[in-house]
Structure 1
Amino acid sequence: MGQMIVHQKELIRINTPKNCIEYSTNDGRIWHKRANASSSMGSLQDLADNGKEILLTTSKGLFYSTNKGSSWHKRS
Protein backbone atom coordinates (compact mmCIF):
# COMPACT_ATOMS: atom_id res chain seq x y z
CA MET A 1 0.00 0.00 0.00
CA GLY A 2 1.05 3.61 -0.36
CA GLN A 3 0.21 7.09 0.79
CA MET A 4 -1.04 8.12 -2.67
CA ILE A 5 -3.26 6.22 -5.12
CA VAL A 6 -5.06 6.81 -8.42
CA HIS A 7 -8.79 6.19 -8.06
CA GLN A 8 -11.39 7.00 -10.73
CA LYS A 9 -9.19 9.60 -12.50
CA GLU A 10 -8.19 11.34 -9.24
CA LEU A 11 -5.00 11.26 -7.23
CA ILE A 12 -5.87 10.65 -3.59
CA ARG A 13 -3.27 11.02 -0.85
CA ILE A 14 -2.72 11.14 2.87
CA ASN A 15 -1.45 14.49 4.14
CA THR A 16 0.41 13.12 7.15
CA PRO A 17 1.14 16.43 8.98
CA LYS A 18 -2.55 17.43 8.76
CA ASN A 19 -3.84 13.82 9.21
CA CYS A 20 -6.34 14.24 6.37
CA ILE A 21 -7.24 12.88 2.94
CA GLU A 22 -6.65 15.15 -0.06
CA TYR A 23 -7.38 14.78 -3.78
CA SER A 24 -6.19 16.26 -7.06
CA THR A 25 -7.86 16.25 -10.47
CA ASN A 26 -4.93 17.92 -12.28
CA ASP A 27 -2.06 15.45 -11.79
CA GLY A 28 -1.08 16.79 -8.37
CA ARG A 29 -0.61 20.45 -9.26
CA ILE A 30 -3.37 21.54 -6.84
CA TRP A 31 -4.62 19.55 -3.82
CA HIS A 32 -8.00 19.87 -2.07
CA LYS A 33 -8.98 18.51 1.34
CA ARG A 34 -11.60 15.77 1.15
CA ALA A 35 -11.81 14.46 4.72
CA ASN A 36 -10.23 14.94 8.14
CA ALA A 37 -9.43 11.90 10.23
CA SER A 38 -11.74 11.54 13.20
CA SER A 39 -10.31 10.78 16.63
CA SER A 40 -11.68 7.23 16.35
CA MET A 41 -9.47 6.66 13.27
CA GLY A 42 -6.13 7.61 14.81
CA SER A 43 -3.24 8.52 12.53
CA LEU A 44 -3.60 7.75 8.82
CA GLN A 45 -0.98 5.38 7.40
CA ASP A 46 -1.64 3.77 3.98
CA LEU A 47 -4.16 3.75 1.12
CA ALA A 48 -5.12 1.06 -1.38
CA ASP A 49 -7.67 0.93 -4.20
CA ASN A 50 -9.47 -2.40 -4.48
CA GLY A 51 -11.83 -1.35 -7.29
CA LYS A 52 -15.18 -0.62 -5.64
CA GLU A 53 -13.75 1.00 -2.51
CA ILE A 54 -10.67 2.62 -1.06
CA LEU A 55 -8.98 0.97 1.90
CA LEU A 56 -7.19 2.97 4.59
CA THR A 57 -4.99 1.58 7.32
CA THR A 58 -4.68 3.70 10.44
CA SER A 59 -3.20 3.36 13.91
CA LYS A 60 -6.66 2.15 15.01
CA GLY A 61 -7.47 -0.38 12.29
CA LEU A 62 -8.72 -0.80 8.74
CA PHE A 63 -11.31 1.57 7.24
CA TYR A 64 -13.04 1.66 3.85
CA SER A 65 -14.75 4.29 1.71
CA THR A 66 -17.14 3.87 -1.20
CA ASN A 67 -17.32 7.60 -2.01
CA LYS A 68 -13.73 8.50 -2.96
CA GLY A 69 -12.70 9.06 0.66
CA SER A 70 -15.36 11.58 1.70
CA SER A 71 -16.49 9.31 4.54
CA TRP A 72 -14.89 6.27 6.17
CA HIS A 73 -16.26 3.18 7.93
CA LYS A 74 -14.35 0.78 10.15
CA ARG A 75 -13.97 -2.71 8.69
CA SER A 76 -15.03 -5.28 11.25
Structure 2
Amino acid sequence: MGKKISIEGMSCEHCVAHVKEALEGIGAEKIDVNLKRKSAFISNNITDEKIKTAIEDAGYEVTNIEEASEQGGSKLKGLFKKITG
Protein backbone atom coordinates (compact mmCIF):
# COMPACT_ATOMS: atom_id res chain seq x y z
CA MET A 1 0.00 0.00 0.00
CA GLY A 2 1.26 3.45 -0.84
CA LYS A 3 0.05 6.91 -1.71
CA LYS A 4 -0.58 8.79 -4.93
CA ILE A 5 0.02 12.52 -4.64
CA SER A 6 -1.36 15.01 -7.18
CA ILE A 7 0.99 17.98 -7.58
CA GLU A 8 0.65 21.31 -9.37
CA GLY A 9 3.53 23.55 -10.37
CA MET A 10 5.99 21.07 -11.87
CA SER A 11 7.12 22.14 -15.33
CA CYS A 12 10.41 20.33 -16.02
CA GLU A 13 12.68 17.46 -15.00
CA HIS A 14 14.39 19.76 -12.47
CA CYS A 15 11.00 20.09 -10.74
CA VAL A 16 10.65 16.30 -10.73
CA ALA A 17 14.05 15.94 -9.07
CA HIS A 18 13.19 18.64 -6.54
CA VAL A 19 9.93 16.88 -5.55
CA LYS A 20 11.71 13.52 -5.34
CA GLU A 21 14.38 15.03 -3.10
CA ALA A 22 11.69 16.54 -0.84
CA LEU A 23 9.99 13.14 -0.51
CA GLU A 24 13.29 11.38 0.17
CA GLY A 25 13.86 13.90 2.96
CA ILE A 26 10.81 12.63 4.85
CA GLY A 27 11.67 8.97 4.43
CA ALA A 28 9.52 8.11 1.43
CA GLU A 29 10.42 4.87 -0.38
CA LYS A 30 10.12 3.70 -3.99
CA ILE A 31 9.36 7.21 -5.19
CA ASP A 32 8.11 7.79 -8.73
CA VAL A 33 7.39 11.37 -9.79
CA ASN A 34 5.60 11.73 -13.13
CA LEU A 35 5.72 15.14 -14.82
CA LYS A 36 3.02 14.39 -17.43
CA ARG A 37 0.55 13.07 -14.86
CA LYS A 38 1.48 15.80 -12.37
CA SER A 39 1.75 13.18 -9.67
CA ALA A 40 4.03 11.19 -7.42
CA PHE A 41 3.73 7.73 -5.93
CA ILE A 42 5.41 6.51 -2.76
CA SER A 43 5.26 2.94 -1.54
CA ASN A 44 5.21 3.54 2.20
CA ASN A 45 2.58 5.12 4.39
CA ILE A 46 3.69 8.59 5.52
CA THR A 47 1.13 11.01 6.96
CA ASP A 48 -0.62 13.25 4.47
CA GLU A 49 0.39 16.34 6.47
CA LYS A 50 4.08 15.40 6.34
CA ILE A 51 3.87 14.80 2.57
CA LYS A 52 2.02 18.05 1.95
CA THR A 53 4.43 20.09 4.05
CA ALA A 54 7.52 18.64 2.34
CA ILE A 55 6.21 19.25 -1.18
CA GLU A 56 4.86 22.71 -0.43
CA ASP A 57 8.12 23.69 1.27
CA ALA A 58 9.81 22.68 -2.00
CA GLY A 59 7.60 25.18 -3.84
CA TYR A 60 4.80 23.05 -5.30
CA GLU A 61 1.11 22.61 -4.53
CA VAL A 62 -0.43 19.34 -3.36
CA THR A 63 -3.97 19.08 -4.73
CA ASN A 64 -4.81 15.54 -3.62
CA ILE A 65 -3.40 12.58 -1.71
CA GLU A 66 -5.02 9.16 -1.97
CA GLU A 67 -4.28 5.58 -0.97
CA ALA A 68 -2.95 3.49 -3.84
CA SER A 69 -2.12 -0.20 -3.97
CA GLU A 70 0.49 0.21 -6.70
CA GLN A 71 2.05 2.88 -8.83
CA GLY A 72 -0.49 4.36 -11.22
CA GLY A 73 -3.13 1.85 -10.22
CA SER A 74 -6.06 1.52 -7.94
CA LYS A 75 -7.04 -1.21 -5.51
CA LEU A 76 -9.40 -2.63 -8.14
CA LYS A 77 -6.67 -2.82 -10.78
CA GLY A 78 -4.45 -4.73 -8.34
CA LEU A 79 -7.27 -7.15 -7.58
CA PHE A 80 -7.83 -7.75 -11.30
CA LYS A 81 -4.16 -8.69 -11.71
CA LYS A 82 -4.43 -11.23 -8.86
CA ILE A 83 -7.49 -12.86 -10.39
CA THR A 84 -6.09 -13.08 -13.94
CA GLY A 85 -2.43 -13.54 -13.17
TM-score (norm 1): 0.32
Greater helix share, structure number:
2
Q: Which has the larger radius of gyration?
A: 2
Greater strand share, structure number:
1
RCO higher in structure (CA 8 A, sep ≥6): 2
